[in-house]
Structure 1
Amino acid sequence: MELPERFRDEVRAWLRDNWTPGLEREEWNARLYEAGWICASWPVEYGGRGLTTLESVALAEEFARAGAPMRADWFGDTLVGPTILRWGTEEQKEFFIPKILRGEITWCQGFSEPEAGSDLASLRTRAVADGDEWVIDGHKIWTTRAQDADYVFLLARTDPDAPKHRGISYLLVPMRQNGVEVRPIEQLDGAGDFCEVFFTGARTRREWVVGGVNNGWKVAMTTLGFERGTSATTGHRRFEKELAQIIELARSTGTSGDPLVRQRLARQWSKIQIMRFNGLRTLSDTLRGTKDAAALGPLAKIWWSETHRETMDLAMDILGPDGQILTGQAAAAEWVPGYGMRHGREDYPASVLQRAFLFSPSDTIGGGTAEIQRNIVAERVLGLPRS
């Protein structure tokens, strides 16, 4: 396959002319849309540029190298949008896809429930047909940015008598209606971007089932595949930048000369390089059509999440007692790499590094716990008996 060097040069030139750190989000999104960079891998007939896999990789790499954000709404651009393109009806595509591209609507994901996290198929939220609508009752949790979303793509049980994986449907539901209550969950750093969402007689259109009634499990696996496979060659970059800051921190605190600290820094650097090489392997497998998602997805999730948690532990060890001193801005909204904009508390001004440390244990939980990922590898890859 031809390497997209001419295309890469085009992207670099556009970024030089258009990207400035600190540019207002609305202005930046408008420039992205006008240039066709939002969802550029989507088919031309649906508003994308029809980029090849290698062109999409080049685009992501050049944006990452410039430090420029690519997405207007990650849940819409990367998760539900491609899912609608893969499974949706023409009517669903005509209604939702242009609005996603233009940034007119925002989304959240309604999968996890208090009793259905890692065992997602045990979900209890129900949707019952009522004329031209579905009536939804249930409780979702850890729903990121639900307080700002216009729509939620959620899983609900539509056939309580079917086996648990087969009686689930994938619904598109308006958030701004009676019957939907959002309660932010305050985290350790004071941010409340995770939410609980309660559905009590909420309604959505009968035709807004993606992929057909009772086929939601298969559709959801497609969405999760998009979630875990969008940054194969760029995902390591934020960890590299973060570690570079921690190395400078070690130099400034005088701990860089400590043999144990140096050894730990070198170990984390090596693990991040392994992330990079595994990303290239994933890309090669994708281009050859040999990608083994059953193995690569869980292994990558285990590796990056546990590596990041170890790196954040190391950062706090380097700071020592100073790590207990809150050095951030009171109630400031700050961009934390990998976690987005975090809105802190007036009485708990954690720094960006401290916020990343406080949030890092959740990396091994969200998107499938490390324990569950190991079980998947053991059973589906190694062929070991079910536990």
Structure 2
Amino acid sequence: MDLNYSPADDAFRADIRAWLEANLPDALRDKVLNHKRLNRDDYASWHALLGKRGWSAPAWPAEYGGPNWNVTQRHIWDEECARLGAPTVLPFGVSMVAPVLMKYGSEAQKRRYLPRILDGSDWWCQGYSEPGSGSDLASLRTRAQRVGDHYVVNGQKTWTTLGQHADMMFCLVRTDSGAKKQEGISFLLIDMKTPGITVRPIVTLDEDHEVNEVFFEDVKVPVENLVGDENRGWTYAKYLLGHERTGIARVGQSKRELAFLKQLALNRKKNGKPLLHDPLFGAKVASLEIELMALEITVQRVVANEAGGRGPGPEASMLKIKGTEVQQGLTELMYEAVGPLAAPFDVPFLEGERAHSIAGDDDAAPLAAYYFNYRKTSIYGGSNEIQKNIIAQMILGL
């Protein structure tokens, strides 16, 4: 297994870096690098800019409008975007429902939805979690009953990220209540403008409206919006989650945040010396950096396996666990580095309405909100405890 980059890979990286440096808007770069909030227009404008270059869907094959990059090139792209402070392309359409449609969708569904995902015309959200049915997703209770040429959907979804902006939802529903939990689930595509859908905001601890509750009351969904076969949605859901968990590792982003942490600690003093040079704090940073280096090598091994034609298996769970632990560790050390200077909570500054924080420390001001927001990473995509069970079953045979 060769984990080294080839000369062609290095040339690709140089081309990508040059394009990003020339085309990434400074305002977007500033928001990402300085932990400010991105709004809908930020995501949409970046998606549109990438679309003009043909790079809005890096993992897509050429037949669907993608750049046909190999897995190593996609890994390089993710690294360079993160390093330079480019916003992420929202995954719900491009990286989550699109692969399911390519593999299991009908030709009509591919023709209708994939071009609109590619150019950003449709904003997608995910309808998986429910109250009492998150990591135990097979216990979901939202029901879809077929009536003629429609399904009638009733139930509730929760923690629906950016659902307030969504045009479409890919949704798991129960279509056979008499079957085993996993065997009675179907995968529906739901137009969010359909009568009977109510979206209610969940405002989180950092006073951000990022997630929502979604209620369905006699919502009619055309039968042609069923993906694949009825009652086989669990198969499609697992396929989607494998893609999601691999991407959650975010090595490039963590490398960027590690550099930010080091600079932050160099600028803070303890006993007259930079905090980074304090033996105790420096040891924490070094330990986390070692964890990140090990994660990066593991990601490269998975990339090499995929390049050889082997898809992600339980390795996706390993990447999800360690990736989110590293991300949370970085936010914890940033918060520790600035201490009480992170306490002032300046929402207008976080949302770009004010150039500088009222507290006078622009680096420290976003870090409390950043820390609290990243508590979620070890839960979404299947909690880390569930991922450990998957590893125990699939690798250790327990």
TM-score range, shorter chain: 0.7 to 0.9
Aligned residue in 1 for 2:301: 281
- The aligned counterpart of 1:161 is 178
Q: SS where residue 330 of structure 1 aligns?
A: helix
Structure 1 Cα separation of the partners of residues 311 and 251 of structure 2: 19
How far is 1:18 from its partner? 2.7
Quick check: 1:239–1:272 contact (8 Å CA) kept in 2?
A: yes
Instruction: Name the amino acid aligned to 1:313.
Output: E
SS of alignment partner, residue 321 of structure 1: helix
Partner SS state of residue 333, structure 2: helix
- Residue of structure 1 in register with 2:146 after alignment: 129
Deviation (angstroms), 1:197:
0.7
Cα distance in 2 between the residues matched to 1:52 and 1:84: 20
* Counterpart Cα distance in 1 of 2:386 and 2:371: 23
**Shift in CA distance, 290/84, structure 1 to aligned 2, threshold 3 Å:** closer
Q: 1:143-154 maps to which residues of 2 (within 5 A)? A: 143-154=160-171
1:47, distance to aligned residue in structure 2 (A): 1.9
1:302 to 301, 312, 321: 321
1:381 corresponds to: 395
Distance 1:280 1:125 in 2: 39
- Compute the displacement of 1:107 (Å): 0.5
Q: 1:190 aligns with which of 207, 223, 240?
A: 207
Cα deviation for residue 6 of structure 1 reads 4.8
TM-score (norm 2): 0.85
Q: Hey, what's the Cα distance between the residues in 2 that align with 1:51 and 1:323?
A: 41
1:247 to 254, 262, 267: 262
Question: Structure 1: any 5+ residue segments left out of the alignment?
Answer: 336-349
Q: CA deviation at 1:376?
A: 1.8
Please list the CA deviations of residues 136-175 of structure 1 after superposition, one character each: whole Å capped at 9, or x if unmatched: 0011111101111011000000111111111110000011
* Alpha-carbon distance in 1 for matches of 2:382, 2:232: 21
The match for 2:368 is 354
Structure 2 partner of 1:272:
292
2:383 pairs, out of 369, 376, 383, with: 369
Identity of aligned residues (%): 37
Matches of 1:351 and 1:214, distance apart in 2:
48
Pairing of 1:38-187 with structure 2 (within 5 A): 38-69=56-87, 71=89, 73-187=90-204
Deviation of 1:241 after TM superposition, in Å, equals 2.1
3-state DSSP class of the match of 2:51? helix
2:227 aligned partner = 210
Quick check: 120-129 or 43-52, which moved more?
43-52
For 1:338, the equivalent position in structure 2 comes to: none
User: Which residue among 314, 322, 331 is the counterpart of 1:312?
Assistant: 331
8 A Cα contact 1:135 1:204, kept in partner = yes
Residue aligned with 1:195, SS = strand
1:261 alignment counterpart: 281
| Superposed displacement of residue 331, structure 1 | 6.9
User: For 1:35 and 1:74, how far apart are their aligned partners in 2?
Assistant: 18
Mapped pair 1:36 → 2:54: yes
TM-fit CA distance, 1:28: 3.8
Corresponding residue of 2:34? none
CA distance in 2, matches of 1:80, 1:115: 24
| CA RMSD in angstroms, aligned pairs only | 2.4
Which residue of the partner structure matches residue 27 of structure 2? 22
What is the distance in 2 between the residues matched to 1:356 and 1:332? 10
Q: Which letter maps to 2:148? A: G
TM-score between the two structures when normalised by the length of structure 1: 0.87
Aligned counterparts of 2:167 and 2:134: Cα–Cα separation in 1? 23
Q: Is the 8 A contact 2:145 2:175 kept in 1?
A: yes
* Cα offset, 1:267, TM superposition: 1.0
CA shift digits 1:224-274 (9 cap, x unpaired) = 112122476xx2122222222222232332132422111111111111212
Contact 1:11 1:59 in 2 (8 A): yes
Unaligned 5+ segments in structure 2 are 29-40, 354-363
Take 1:376 and 1:227, find their aligned partners in 2: how far apart are those partners?
15
Contact 1:135-1:201 at 8 Å conserved across structures = yes
CA contact (8 A) 1:170 1:210 kept: yes
Corresponding residue SS for 1:156:
strand
Q: Using the alignment, how far apart are the partners of 1:70 and 1:361 within structure 2?
A: 19
Q: How many residues align?
A: 365
What amino acid sits opposite 1:244 in the alignment?
A
Query: Is the alpha carbon distance of 1:308 and 1:38 closer, same or farther for their aligned partners in structure 2, counting shifts above 3 Å?
Result: closer
Between 370-379 and 206-215, report the one with greater CA deviation: 370-379
1:29 Cα shift? 3.2
1:301 alignment partner, SS class: helix
> What CA distance in whole angstroms lies between the structure 2 residues aligned with 1:291 and 1:78?
15
CA deviation after TM superposition for structure 1 residue 94, in Å:
0.8
- The one-letter code of the counterpart of 1:125 is T
Shift of 1:132: 1.4
Say which SS state the counterpart of residue 382 (structure 2) adopts: coil
Mapped contact 1:169–1:214 kept (Cα < 8 A): yes
**Are 1:237 and 2:256 an aligned pair?**
no
Q: Which secondary structure does the structure 2 equivalent of 1:277 belong to?
A: helix
What is the alpha-carbon distance in structure 2 between the residues aligned to residue 291 and residue 91 of structure 1? Answer: 27
Q: Secondary structure at the match of 2:183?
A: coil
Q: Check the 8 A contact 2:200/2:213 in 1, yes or no.
A: yes
**In 1, Cα distance between the equivalents of 2:285 and 2:20?**
33
Query: Which secondary structure does the structure 2 equivalent of 1:198 belong to?
Result: strand
Cα pair 1:128 1:136 within 8 Å, conserved: yes
Q: Distance in 2 between matches of 1:280 and 1:172?
A: 34
C-alpha distance in 2 between matches for 1:5 and 1:312: 31
1:329–1:351 Cα contact (<8 Å) kept: no
